[in-house]
Chains A and B, each alone.
Chain A
Amino acid sequence: MEKPAGSNPSDWVDRHGDYLFRYAMLRLRDRSTAEDLVQETFLAAFKDRASFSGNSSEATWLVGILKHKIADHFRRQAREAPLEDGDLREQSDPSPFDGSGHWAKGPTDWGGNPADLYREKKFLDQLTKCLSGLSPNHANAFTLREIEGEDTREICKVLNISETNLWVILHRARMQLRRCLETHWFNKSTGEES
């Protein structure tokens, strides 16, 4: 019999566990769900370990399995908590626009150099927090689009919604994230640092 290409499954948790966990956490925003899906990933990989060819790295192979588990989870969530009117309302409260559709209060100047921002861990932590503040339907759609980079047709299949609804949801999610970052990062006066 041919020797399997990958490492011994008993080493998997130590080799790949934390990486897979971080990968899942970013997308699921919930510790226990992330742990469960990492466990399911290892078990599925174990049952199917003969399929690992060694053409890709073992980590890449495992992430591929985890990605499917995450999409399945989103599918399940979409079935259990379908879209509500609130998810599709075009503007959150309070609307940033006046009655004629002009900015009531425009976006503030964020200043600085975005390239520096991306390296700042505290900023990325704040972004994670803002992402967690979205409703699950909004956060899942945004995650599939911006973190996974899926195209909209694929996302509509996973979430079982129309493209028009998806565009509304992504618009709402971006608008809310923008406002959250503005409030909790850019407009935070230096006096109230915590």
Chain B
Amino acid sequence: MMKKLAKGILLGAVLLFLYLPILILAVYSFTNATNIGVIRGFSFHNYVTLFTTPELIQMILGTLTLAIVSALLATILGTMGAIGAFYSKKGMASAISTMNQVPVVNADVVTGFSICILLVVVFGVSKDTYIPLVIGHVTLCAPFVYLSVMPKIKQMDSSIYEAALDLGATPFTALWKIVIPQIIPGIVSGFGLAITLSLDDYFIATYTKPATFDTISTYVVNATKGAQTTIKTALWALSTVIFLVVVLIVTLVNVQAGKAETERSVL
């Protein structure tokens, strides 16, 4: 009994530590207080500021666009790389998987800085073209797509592909109709992973982004150091919105996964 209580207290305390700051901020985002600790009246003005200030809207849309574009590119590259590496000779396959491991293990500061040096300092590519930024994010994300697709390729039944070829399909058709559908779960989770990595990134963006462009991370880091209270409290609203969106997505994904599981067990 005592033991159970102690376990409950430990879990509860750590959950409190993880969630209390976000929840307190969420409560205060609905007031017109400018600091935590001062109780003021109920107000939606932070949400109005968040969704009507052009600077904030641009920053949010920019972050989302960057995440989707880089995740798409990373998914295409990483998936092709995984299929290619799986069917390549040993030397080529291990070369690809070794190079793939570098950005995964490396610190993002180093990845971002080295890409900045190569593209901006050596090749003189202007950061305003967004090319360094997109390349930086694709380099961050593609290795994780590769890692989530590879196990699916290994589990794949290769005889179906051979059968398709025997029945007259071209290698490309067989790939598109047979291989891709079998590894699609890996591709989808790789894409999801790529999106979250890009959304959360600060370091690569700092070193490669155009001066006038901000992602949520770079914007928030600068805003916390500044003294602009309207922007600061509007970010509390943003934090609350993102929290709710994450809770919603996680719930939906889990309900979906639960459904798939029950269906499988019924079959």
- Bound pair: A and B? no
